[in-house]
């Protein structure tokens, strides 16, 4: 039961053990199920911003379309008063109660939205060419590069797009019920590039 | 596809937005309790139908999800300016542009 409950939304696709094409120029993979906490807070409240920074190990980014890395966390800018806190180690409900405690009396919202997302990773020399088919943003490094993260849409579904490295290596945070749709869309878009599946 | 400047996120494709009617319509202070039915109907439903430069509310639905204001020419579909919700429209040339019906 426990194993069943812990299945990710991309598990049905049978990605584990799938063979990769020769000379693949794009590698896609299941990015797992990190902790994701959504935080809303007035950035003008310096004391509250500081309290959160202490908890997540890094100042909340105030530059639009960027993310920053803390010790165990990544904090993505979503809007002027909204952030997404991602962690591979922390536990969502625990972080939310710590945030609520630290922000006691301050108008805010902290919600564990870990179960909202699937993560699709896309990397390789044709990764940008592939994503550019689905995403209306200009993904040329002049406009979108490592360190940036933003909300947009890929094909018909909303995503949070993050560029993790210059490889380029991208992560797409997608609503879990749309994740198989997006995977299928990207996989058919990769025809001609050759697709490898990362384990 | 139009590129529309979000005051929060920067230039974005029009497919990220939802356009939603006239801007700068203040909610009645009283909440409507002292208004007649006719006044209430006017506040809720009646909107200008400008043939020319129109001030609209748009939502950056697939981006920051914030409401913004947009100054758009309804004849040419030219977007003259976008600005944050709560801000006054910028004073620019052509802001009063209107056409004869
Ligand atoms: Zn925006």
How do residues B55-95 score in pLDDT, each as one tens digit?
999 999 999 999 999 999 999 999 999 999 999 999 988 88
* Distance of residue B82 Cα from the nearest chain A Cα, in angstroms: 16
- Res A82 pLDDT > 60: yes
The answer to whether B16 contacts chain A (CB < 8 Å) is yes
For chain A, give the mean pLDDT: 95
Tens-digit pLDDT profile for residues A109-123: 999 999 999 999 999
Residues of chain A with CATH 3.30.1360.120: 3-32+117-197
Going by pLDDT thresholds of 50, 70 and 90, the confidence category of residue A186 is very high
**Chain B: residue nearest A151 by CA?**
B63
Phi/psi at B3 (5° precision) = -100, 120
CB within 8 A of A149, min separation 6: which ones?
A: A65, A66, A67, A76, A77, A160, A161, A162, A163
CATH topology of domain A35-114: Alpha-Beta Plaits (3.30.70)
Which of B1, B12, B66 shows the shortest C-beta gap to A79? B66
Phi/psi at A154 (5° precision) = -120, 120
Whole-model pTM over 0.95: no
Q: Which of B1, B4, B13 to mutate to test the interface with A (most CBs of A within 10 A)?
A: B13
| Calpha distance B31→B40 (Å, rounded) | 10
- Contact call for residues A15 and A7 (beta carbons, < 8 A): no
Please state which CATH number belongs to domain A3-32+117-197: 3.30.1360.120
Residues of chain A with CATH 3.30.70.1520: 35-114
% of chain A with per-residue pLDDT over 70: 97
Which of B1, B15, B62 shows the shortest C-beta gap to A151? B62
Tens-digit pLDDT profile for residues A108-165: 999 999 999 999 999 999 999 999 999 999 999 999 999 999 999 999 999 999 999 9
Between A51 and A18, the more confident residue is A51
A101-104, long-range: CB within 8 Å, 24+ apart, which pairs?
A102/A48, A102/A51, A102/A52, A102/A54, A102/A55, A103/A41, A103/A48, A103/A51, A103/A52
Phi/psi at A134 (5° precision) = -105, -25
The ipTM (two decimal places) reads 0.90
CB within 8 A of B39, min separation 6: which ones?
A: none
């Amino acid at each position: 039961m426990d194993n069943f409950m812990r299945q990710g939304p991309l598990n049905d696709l049978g990605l584990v053990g799938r063979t990769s094409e020769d000379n693949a120029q794009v590698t896609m993979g299941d990015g797992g199920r990190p902790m994701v906490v959504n935080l809303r807070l007035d950035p003008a409240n310096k004391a509250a911003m500081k309290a959160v920074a202490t908890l997540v190990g890094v100042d909340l980014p105030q530059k639009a379309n960027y993310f920053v890395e803390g010790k165990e966390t990544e904090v993505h800018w979503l809007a002027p008063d909204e952030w997404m806190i991602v962690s591979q180690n922390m536990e969502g409900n625990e972080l939310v109660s710590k945030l609520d405690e630290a922000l006691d009396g301050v108008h805010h919202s902290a919600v564990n939205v870990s179960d909202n997302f699937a993560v699709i990773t896309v990397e390789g020399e044709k990764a940008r060419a592939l994503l550019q088919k689905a995403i209306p943003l200009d993904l040329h490094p002049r406009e979108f590069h490592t360190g940036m993260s933003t909300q947009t849409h890929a094909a018909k579904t909303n995503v949070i797009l993050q560029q993790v490295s210059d490889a380029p290596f991208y992560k797409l945070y997608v609503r879990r019920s749309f994740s198989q749709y997006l995977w299928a869309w990207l996989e058919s878009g990769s025809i001609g590039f050759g697709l490898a599946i990362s384990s | 596809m139009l590129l529309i400047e979000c005051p929060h996120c920067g230039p974005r494709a029009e497919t990220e937005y939802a356009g939603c009617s006239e801007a700068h319509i203040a909610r009645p202070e009283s909440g409507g309790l002292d208004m007649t039915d006719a006044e209430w109907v006017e506040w809720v439903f009646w909107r200008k139908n400008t043939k020319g430069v129109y001030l609209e509310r748009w939502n950056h639905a697939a981006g920051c999800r914030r409401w913004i204001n947009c100054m758009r020419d309804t004849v040419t579909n030219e977007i003259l300016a976008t600005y944050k919700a709560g801000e006054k429209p910028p004073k620019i040339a052509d802001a009063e542009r209107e056409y004869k019906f």
